[in-house]
Amino acid sequence: MKKFRVLSAVLLVFILITGVFHSPGLSRPVRLTVFYPSIGTIKNLQALRDKGFINISNLEITGVYHLKELTGYEEAKKYASSNQLTWISFHPVSAEISQEDIFCQNDCTPEFINIINNSDGIIFFGGPDIPPAVFKEKTSLLTVVEDPYRHYFELSAIFHFLGGSQNKDFKPLLESKPELPILGICLGAQSLNVATGGTLIQDIWSEVYGQNMLEDIIALDPDDWHNNPYQKLRPDLNLSGYIFHPLNLLPDGFFTKVLGFSEKDHPRVLSSHHQAIDQLGQDFRAVALSPDGKIVEAISHTRYVNVLGIQFHPENYRLWDENFKISLIPGGLPDSYWNLLKNNPPSIEFHRRIWQWFARIMEKNSRQETH
């Protein structure tokens, strides 16, 4: 009997160490990887957690960036440290990356493999214009390229994750984790599209609406605006650079089939962009359009069901701040973004369900790996 107890104890230690047996008390954290971990990104994630939109108590976030990016991430690190945000860490990447080797294996490939192996979810956030040479177009005078290495790094990451028409022999890393949720926000949505072989409209106003003057843009229906033209016309008034416009949710798309909304629902979303998705990337379909149907507002992946790109901003921490008030147009009464959402149902519920979906899938992935 004594020998049996000793063998049982040894077996139990082996099981606990190797993870063959999973105890709820030994569950590992839910791991989220975010690209572009700027101070704004951290404030957005902090608000989403504080307000319960991402309701995961054991969430750990890793912010990944390339050392050649031009963003000052030291400010973000100081903010995280001074606010005791122990749930976020930073991972700089120094491996070489260039425009010529985005869509193939490169020196960053081991980093991308590591990200997939150690993530329950991934987010790509907003930012500046992608260099058009990446999608084989000349550069418009209205395109502003500010941080090329950020794009090289993030586009190559997405290509590694999803594959693309640029190199059809490449095996996407998501083949090993096909249910991994990946969310692209604004630039992130455009990056999902370009990385898989799609193209962009370089300037919405001039290319889609044929407008080159601010006053002519203002004369259009405000529901068709995608950024606030008044901000350039009247910089002295400190107006919001964002605007709100409704969405058209397409039938049998992500928002209707997965999130449970109806085609008759037209949630308002926070928007600020002058570029947009043009030709769709490999395995992507449009799932939401602008009110006039001219601009793709969201895309979902047909092969990896939890990959979503949205051209609007459901992450902005100002959305949940009822005390933050700002005017959108000259002479307009200052109001909070929260009130604008609340007064246009189902806008708040629309935002809530996006984040609940993302959090639920991350937790599901975490449980599957630990069992």
Compute the mean pLDDT over every residue in the chain, rounded to the nearest whole number. 92
CB 159 within 8 A of CB 195: yes
Q: In degrees to the nearest 10, what's the CA dihedral of 187, 73, 35, 46?
A: -90
Give pLDDT, residue 122: 98
Mean pLDDT of 19-47: 79
Give pLDDT, residue 369: 74
The 10s digit of each residue's pLDDT in 269-299 is: 999 999 999 999 999 999 999 999 999 999 9
Give pLDDT, residue 370: 67
The 10s digit of each residue's pLDDT in 99-135 is: 999 999 999 999 999 999 999 999 999 999 999 999 9
SS3 332: coil
Give pLDDT, residue 368: 83
Q: Could you give the domains of the chain?
A: 29-203+273-323+348-370 (3.40.50.880)
CA atoms within 13 A on the CB side of 259: 29
- Using only C-alpha atoms, the chain has a radius of gyration, in whole angstroms, of 22
Give pLDDT, residue 10: 39
Would you place residue 371 in the very low, low, confident or very high pLDDT band (cuts 50, 70, 90)? low
Position 24 pLDDT exceeds 50: no
CB 42 within 8 A of CB 80: yes
Position 15 pLDDT exceeds 80: no
The crossing angle, in degrees rounded to 10, of helices 148-162 and 109-117 is 60
Would you place residue 28 in the very low, low, confident or very high pLDDT band (cuts 50, 70, 90)? confident
Q: How far apart are CA 317 and CA 3, in angstroms?
A: 60
The 10s digit of each residue's pLDDT in 140-155 is: 999 999 999 999 999 9
Q: How far apart are CA 71 and CA 73, in angstroms?
A: 6
